[in-house]
Structure 1
Amino acid sequence: MSDAAVSPVHLGLPDDAEERARAEVYGLLAQLYHAAPTPELYDRLRMAATEAPSAGGFLESSWSALVAAARRVPVGHVADEFVTLFGGVGKPEVALNASWFLAGALNEKPLVALRDDLDALGLERPVAVLETEDHIAALCEVMSYLITGEDVSVSNLATQQRFFNAHLRSWCERLCETIEQQPAADFYRALAGFTRDFMAVEAQAFDLL
Structure 2
Amino acid sequence: MTAAPDTTISDMDRARADLYNFLGALLANPPDEMLLTQTAGLSGDDTELGQAIGTLAKLAKVTKPKAAESEFNKLFIGLGRGELLPFASYYLTGFLNEKPLAALRQAMTAKGMQRSDTVFEPEDSIASLMEMMGAMIVGRFDRPADVAAQKQFFNTHVAPWASHFFTDLEEAKNSVFYSPVGTVGKTFMSVEAEAFRMSGAE
Identity %: 34
1:155 aligns with 2:149: no
1:137 aligns with 2:135: no
User: What amino acid is the match of 1:120?
Assistant: A
TM-score (norm 2): 0.89
Aligned pairs for 1:14-163 within 5 A: 16-50=10-44, 52=45, 56-149=46-139, 151-152=142-143, 155-163=145-153
DSSP-derived class of the 2:31 partner? coil
> C-alpha separation between the residues in 2 aligned to 1:128 and 1:176?
25
Deviations 1:111-159 (A, max 9, x none): 011111111111111222112110011101110111001644x622111
Does the CA-based 8 Å contact 2:43-2:50 persist in structure 1? no
1:179 aligns with 2:173: no
Structure 2, unaligned runs of 5 or more: 1-8
> C-alpha separation between the residues in 2 aligned to 1:91 and 1:142?
25
TM-score (norm 1): 0.86
DSSP-derived class of the 2:43 partner? coil
> C-alpha separation between the residues in 1 aligned to 2:153 and 2:79?
32
> C-alpha separation between the residues in 2 aligned to 1:126 and 1:40?
22
> C-alpha separation between the residues in 1 aligned to 2:166 and 2:43?
23
User: What amino acid is the match of 1:116?
Assistant: Q
Match of 2:186 among 174, 191, 196: 196
Match of 1:168 in 2: 158
Does the CA-based 8 Å contact 2:40-2:56 persist in structure 1? no
Structure 1, unaligned runs of 5 or more: 1-14
Which deviates the most, 196-205 or 39-48?
A: 39-48
User: What amino acid is the match of 1:48?
Assistant: L
Deviations 1:150-201 (A, max 9, x none): 644x622111100000011010111112222322110101100010001110
Moved >3 Å (runs of 4+): none
